Amino acid sequence: MRREDITYLGAGPAALPTDVLAIAAEALQNYQDTGLGVAEHSHRSELANNILNSMKADLASFLDIPSDYEILLMQSGGSGQFDATIYNVVNIWVEKQRQKIVKEQGDIGEDALVQELKKKVDSELRLDYLASQEAVRLLGPEHVNIASDARKVNDGKFGKIADESTWQLSPKPAMVYMCENETVDGVEYPAFPKVLEPKGTEDDYLVVGDFSSTILSRRIPVKDYSIIFFGAQKNLGCAGVTGVIIRKNLLPPTLPSTSPTLLRKLGLPIAPTVLDYGVTAKNNSLYNTLPIFDVFLAGQVLKKLIATFPDKVDGQQAVAQKKADLIYGSLDAYPNVYKVVPETSVRSRMNICFRVTKGGDVDEAEKAFLKGAVERGLTGLKGHRSVGGIRASNYNAVAEAGAEKLAAYLKEYAEA
């Protein structure tokens, strides 16, 4: 089957624009007439630095990232960055507490300082999550607060976002983590939570946002976040590089790093060097061998987006919404055949999750639906292994014609 015959709707890694792949294929063999492919050049070379700096500049331009934020390119994927935020934020929290104690009590000596910090760690160190289990594994349940659990308002299942009035936020958490789009059940925050909006005081929440599934598809209120991270493999490129956008005032030299010795004395985890934001920023994301081909590919995706949308991310957001509305419209037109998983107000534009109920036997109906889809060149529609069902991932590389093709099949299957 030819590439142009396929509309790939898998949840990730996602499809890439064909013309970008053509450029990448040529660059893999001979980049800029150097006789070497882009993946073979040293990450320390001027060529690699140019690729990296160009990609960062285009990302900042497309998303309108303010100048007081630093862009880091790292590895380890979204899962690794989830851990990295814990390591780094705990470091940030301890350093702020250390500075506060020294300011209030002067030079109190190392042993006394450790004792004061231990008291604060035991009584005050809390990381708030709007969903998480991994944080408990790294820090222990005593330092993790699940501020909101959607399952409590949805019969033990995901598919909703609990009203902000029910959130149980800690008084002064070290951070609040939110995954902006959940891919398994197709739930997306429609807007930044009002309760977390900064007020310009020292009590503002340090909010960490995971944008792995929606990066480049919608405008981000960057100033509302302290740290944003995202894997590349949904809308930006291929797996292997992960982006981090972080306030510069959370990085050295503005905010020094707490010494590993002090963190050990406090019984707190220490960030591996490759996950340390301060080290990464100091070395322009080149402390270790960054996969330059992955950065180059992401850069080409950005150049295509910038050339396509003069209004930058707002233009891509409008297209993403148009495609999502088309698909959801077809699903809603046949309520006896399709059941969309999340409630309407929190439907993801990127991961459209639904069940096929035609004929009463859901398993058989979905097998038939998937078989027919593949026959029509609609692939990657099988839902996550943990919940089953159907999942159409509407990432940026899915053309409007692809969304129209899926909408037409939804109608055809329902009326057959």
- CATH number of residue 207's parent domain: 3.40.640.10
Residue 1 lies in a domain: no
Residues 92 and 212 placed together within one structural domain of the fold: yes
Strands 207-210 and 175-179: parallel
Of 272, 296, 320, the domain-final residue = 296
273-296, pLDDT tens digit by residue? 999 999 999 999 999 999 999 999
What lies within 8 Å, CB to CB, of 117 at 6+ separation is 94, 97, 98, 101, 262, 266
DSSP-derived letter for residue 88 is H
| pLDDT value at residue 130 | 86
| pLDDT value at residue 156 | 66
| pLDDT < 50 stretches in the chain | none
| DSSP string computed for 113-146 | HHHHHHHHHHHH--EEESS-SHHHHHH-GGGEEE
Q: Cα–Cα distance between 99 and 103 in angstroms, integer?
A: 6
Instruction: Collect contacts of 52-60 with beta carbons under 8 A, ≥24 apart.
Output: 52/284, 52/285, 52/286, 52/290, 52/292, 52/295, 53/284, 54/299, 55/295, 55/296, 55/298, 55/299, 55/302, 58/299, 58/302, 58/303, 58/306, 59/243, 59/302
Residues 351 and 288 placed together within one structural domain of the fold: no
| pLDDT value at residue 31 | 97
| pLDDT value at residue 414 | 98
Residues 187 and 148 placed together within one structural domain of the fold: yes
Residue 143 lies in a domain: yes
Q: Which helix (H) or strand (E) holds 53?
A: helix 46-63
Q: How far is CA 325 from CA 11, 211, 216, 236, 381, in A?
A: 18, 21, 18, 22, 18
Residues 130 and 219 placed together within one structural domain of the fold: yes
3-class SS of residue 64: coil
| pLDDT value at residue 353 | 98
Residues 227 and 193 placed together within one structural domain of the fold: yes
| DSSP string computed for 208-221 | EEE-TTTTTTS---
| pLDDT value at residue 131 | 66
331-371, pLDDT tens digit by residue? 999 999 999 999 999 999 999 999 999 988 999 999 999 99
Nearest of 220, 216, 154, 155 to residue 187 by alpha carbon: 154
Q: What is the total count of domains within the chain?
A: 2
Could you list the beta-strand ranges (E) of 171-239: 175-179, 181-182, 187-188, 207-210, 227-231
Residues 317 and 288 placed together within one structural domain of the fold: no
Q: Cα–Cα distance between 331 and 358 in angstroms, integer?
A: 12
Q: How many CA atoms lie within 13 A of 211 on its CB side?
A: 24
Residue 136 lies in a domain: yes
Q: Could you tell me where the DSSP H helices lie in 106-235? A: 110-124, 134-139
Residue 22 lies in a domain: no
Is residue 232 within 8 A of residue 239, CB to CB? The reply is yes
Q: Cα–Cα distance between 23 and 296 in angstroms, integer?
A: 10
| pLDDT value at residue 71 | 98
Residues 352 and 265 placed together within one structural domain of the fold: no
Residue type, 293: F
| pLDDT value at residue 150 | 76
Q: Cα–Cα distance between 328 and 385 in angstroms, integer?
A: 22
Residues 83 and 146 placed together within one structural domain of the fold: yes
Residues 87 and 219 placed together within one structural domain of the fold: yes
Here the CATH number for the domain that contains residue 392 is: 3.90.1150.10
Residue 252 lies in a domain: yes
Return phi, psi of residue 267, to 5°. 70, 25
Is residue 403 within 8 A of residue 323, CB to CB? The reply is yes
Residues 211 and 261 placed together within one structural domain of the fold: yes
Residue 21 lies in a domain: no
Residues 281 and 318 placed together within one structural domain of the fold: no
Of 264, 296, 328, the domain-final residue = 296
Which residue range forms the structural domain that includes residue 387? 311-415
Residue 226 lies in a domain: yes
Is residue 72 within 8 A of residue 281, CB to CB? The reply is yes
Residue 155 lies in a domain: yes
Is residue 38 within 8 A of residue 27, CB to CB? The reply is yes
Q: Cα–Cα distance between 267 and 36 in angstroms, integer?
A: 48
Strands 175-179 and 351-356: unpaired
Q: Which token pair is 334?
A: 């046949």
Beta bridge partners of 144: 127
Residues 139 and 252 placed together within one structural domain of the fold: yes
Q: Cα–Cα distance between 88 and 81 in angstroms, integer?
A: 10
Of 296, 327, 354, the domain-final residue = 296
Nearest of 157, 152, 151, 148 to residue 177 by alpha carbon: 148
Q: How far is CA 317 from CA 16, 65, 305, 373, in A?
A: 17, 16, 11, 26
